[in-house]
Every structure is written in structure tokens, then in C-alpha cells.
Amino acid sequence: MSTPSILIVTGDAAEALEVMYPLQRLREEGFAVTLAAPTKKVLQSVVHDFEPGFDTYTEKLGYRIPADVAFADVDPARFDALVIPGGRAPEWIRNDKNLARIVRHFFDEGKPVAAICHAALILAAVGVVRGRTMTAYPAIRPEVESAGATFKDVEVVVDRNLVTSRAWPDHPAFLREFLKLVRGEKSTKQALAGTGSKRR
């Protein structure tokens, strides 16, 4: 088997762990990983965490992460799988026509896609989740269901080529199931049991 090529798509205000963990974990596997963004530049990530007394997450500045290529210059046919981190980046990069082109390619070709947290906003905007079962950050459940998907509040859901998780605390299950798809292994479950999230 040739070395898998993985594309990560993100932008400014991406959640730091949701970019850095798959970036480094997939490189640890020996995969060729490329980070794409609206423009080729150094991105400013953010840290979303939970503080006592807050009903939602807080945001702090995170790592600065260099993008390798702009969306407009990505040929998705060169890649075997796609990772879409969350954070605030999906709120605005979902409007990029080149990102939509990239995402549609992976679904049209049935290639593995891993989407975590607010990444579901991109999938909903592109129109690729109707009829699927998935999870996401619980606060965007209405967007997931409005796009025609069935929402499950569990740590990871595998539906055909799509692996979804709620947020960075679910990383172990998220990457474990995604790696199975990249290696050509099949998940034994469409939805793996997890505890319901109380986070909003």
C-alpha cells in the first residue's frame, strides 16, 4: 500500500487541539499530511475550554499553525482522505466555494472524511449529510438536523465514509475510527456508545 495522503482543511480561529492532534497523530503514522486554508499563511488557532460558572465554552488564543496551501490550489484527487477540524473556523470557511469543491469530491468518491465539533457546519452547508447519521458539537444539533441528518450525542459515529465526533475530548475514538477507514478496515458499529454530553 502506498503512503496515504491526508488533507486537513481549516482556517483562522480553528480549535487548536482539533488541528494539532490529527496533524501530528497522522504524521506519526507515516502519512503525508497537507494543511489547507483559504490562503497560504500562518493561521491563528484558538483554545476552547470550559470554565466554572460559564454555560458555554470560553475562547483563548492558541498556537500559530502554518498552512501549506490555499483551497484554490488544492487538487482533491491527490488525497486519500479528509479531516475537518472544528472551532470557529467552520463558521466562515464554509462560504468558500473552493472548500465546497474539495469537500464534495471526497463524498462523491466515497473517500474517508473525519469531521469534528463545528465542522458539521461545513458538511451541512455543502449539502452532503442528508440521510446520514452523525454527531457534532451538541449546540449545533439544529443545523445537523436541518441538513437532513440524524444526530446522536455519542463520542463517535461512523456512517459509511464519514467519521464524526463532538469535540476534542473525543479524539481517541475519533482518530481510532478514522484510521480504520484510511487503512481499509471496517468499523463494527455505525454508532459507538458514549455518554451524553452536557456541554452546550
**Active-site residues: which are they?**
118
Asked if residue 194 lies in contact with residue 156, where contact means CB atoms within 8 angstroms, the answer is yes
Written as one letter, the residue type at 65 is I
- Quickly count helices (H) and strands (E) in the chain: 6, 12
Residue whose C-alpha cell is 452532503: 128
Q: Where are the beta strands (DSSP E) in 5-74?
A: 5-9, 32-37, 42-49, 58-66, 69-70
The Cα 161–Cα 145 span in angstroms is 19
Rg (alpha carbons) of the chain, rounded to whole number: 15
